[in-house]
A and B are shown apart, each in its own frame.
Chain A
């Protein structure tokens, strides 16, 4: 099946600043692609290029198999939902939604039919005569989506649409967008800096940093097999623990040694570390460090750790310790007896360790 969106070797410079470098992505029909990364990574710029609101310096963008060079936004068969909703302030909700149709000269009957369909779908029928200023944030977002829906495009573009909403509303609208995607089955490209949104909404995630795509993959791939330290650190909250270590080979065994000033070094027996270089960074997520005895697993090694702080978070309790000169966060059950100042045996799930190269940050296993 031909991809609905394809970006080949796209670069964008603004003056001497390189905003996008060698972007290559393909989106299959029906996929939900999320572009995620910290602010300034170029994700919004990339979205604008897809929409045709900005031009790439070089490279090609294909929508529906056609080269979009020189094609204006209105002819690209796309619709866009903006962070600030961008509703026309002097028009009613109904007029906002039908504006595009008015511009294209669609007949009255079709306009009304589509308006009613979309209004019903998004449950905004009772808002049709109101002005944007009279709506709440969530309502405005729905109207903005209605305006996009009514275009019936091949590709939906979302530019951080939930960033302006408060936390609770954000979670609600997130589910609505996901439901909408399942219902419509249309292709969507979604930009956000929130990695939770990315994980919950996407069928495919592209992590970006400094204009470069760090990794493209399913949420599971991105989470469990991050391509480098940046991706591993960015996705998942609380962030993955990174501890520098040395690898020693001992025949068929391999020992991963973590220095502990004032104590004997911690040695992890991990055969899988046999092919690694001497210096590595050990990456382990907090949920893979549990209270000893709680997690049955094949390759678990128990370590006595001195607790620095305890952070109860409702269903879990995060326990902060330190190891190898770095902070170590473990996710324990909420009825743990851990107390600051005591030591606690923590179980490290060796199966879940990611090893990274210290200089490049690349994943090694």
Chain B
């Protein structure tokens, strides 16, 4: 996996003591790594086990004990009958909302990012650098500073509290990232390729279609995974711009857990959290390495 062997390799001629030391070090290394793995896995484990226990068992058992009797009641409740404020329909309608919001937003922002990235990578024009810098800066703003005017504007456009409104918001604030990803990727395509295509007679769109698009699969996957994760997991926009009918699953989840009515059903809370986390978690497990590439794409290359 790594050619850069900084493993504790020592030349052949060494004392037995040093060899024991080396083995011990190696074991210590593995022990540390496993310990940390447990640290990261523990919450997930606790969530899963708790969600499968009955309330009775939760009270009497411990945080990480396995359920004595597995019951899926909590899951059923979380999905279809938990109360999110006034409604008690579980997460299901909100899960659907999230889906309806995320998928179009991901697709639209990816497409726009692709063609924008193409322009910035290979078609210089006056002010392009400045615009790119401004756009990049816009990635870093805390969204609190645009929430208020956005709420007003959505109201003026008649999109307040609607799913299309949420989609619009996510597209607008996601385009900067997707453009950055595609631009950093397309810029590795040599200039001469575009020149050769120009001489061959191809124009702006033909070059994009015939040359750039076919080699875009890796970056498209990275961008889609990144955008999907960001948009699905978002809470701030969700809670600021949606009403009870159009809330995404993150908002509904928070309502279920933190609404202060009656007995706290911890197992339902955990089940609901897992349900809400499932899509991005699955995406991560299936396509994890692309996710990592997406995280480091903008940052490491700077």
Given contacts A90-B211, A90-B215, is CB(A103)–CB(B201) below 8 Å? yes
The number of chain B residues with a CB under 8 A from chain A is 16
Given contacts A99-B210, A103-B206, is CB(A74)–CB(B199) below 8 Å? yes
Q: How far is the CA of A208 from the CA of B70 in the complex (A)?
A: 83
Residue A251 lies at the interface, judged by CB distance under 8 Å to chain B: no
- Stretch from B188-196, B231-239, B252-260, B269-277 at the A interface: B188-196
Write the chain A residue with the least CB distance to B190. Answer: A84
Cβ distance A137 to chain B, nearest Cβ, rounded Å:
15
Contact with B along A82-107 (1 / 0, CB 8 A): 11101111110000000110011000
B192 x A84 contact (CB < 8 A): yes
CB-CB contacts below 8 Å: A58-117 with B: 72-74, 78-80, 82-84, 86-91, 99-100, 103-104
Contact with A along B116-147 (1 / 0, CB 8 A): 00000000000000000000000000000000
Q: Which residues of A contact B199 (CB under 8 A)?
A: 51, 53, 73-74, 78-80, 100
* Among candidates A80, A99, A103, residue contacting B195 with C-beta atoms closer than 8 Å: A80
A86 x B206 contact (CB < 8 A): no
Write the chain A residue with the least CB distance to B211. Answer: A88
Given contacts A99-B210, A103-B206, is CB(A86)–CB(B192) below 8 Å? yes
CB-CB contacts below 8 Å: A275-298 with B: none
Residue A147 lies at the interface, judged by CB distance under 8 Å to chain B: yes
Q: Which residues of A contact B210 (CB under 8 A)?
A: 88, 91, 99
Q: Which residues of A contact B215 (CB under 8 A)?
A: 89-90
Write the chain A residue with the least CB distance to B216. Answer: A90
Write the chain A residue with the least CB distance to B213. Answer: A90
Residue B11 lies at the interface, judged by CB distance under 8 Å to chain A: no
Q: How far is the CA of A48 from the CA of B194 in the complex (A)?
A: 13
Contact with A along B157-197 (1 / 0, CB 8 A): 00000000000000000000000000000000010110111
B190 x A86 contact (CB < 8 A): yes
Write the chain B residue with the least CB distance to A75. Answer: B201
Q: Which residues of B contact A82 (CB under 8 A)?
A: 192, 195-196
Q: Which residues of A contact B190 (CB under 8 A)?
A: 84, 86
Q: How far is the CA of A44 from the CA of B197 in the complex (A)?
A: 18
Q: Report B's interface with A, CB cutoff 8 A.
A: 190, 192-193, 195-202, 206, 210-211, 214-215
Instruction: Report, nearest first, the 9 A-B pairs whose CB atoms are least far apart.
Output: A100-B200, A90-B214, A74-B201, A86-B192, A86-B196, A103-B201, A82-B192, A73-B199, A86-B193
Known pairs A86-B195, A88-B211, A91-B210; list 9 more (Cβ under 8 Å). Answer: A51-B195, A73-B198, A78-B199, A80-B195, A82-B196, A84-B190, A88-B196, A99-B202, A99-B210
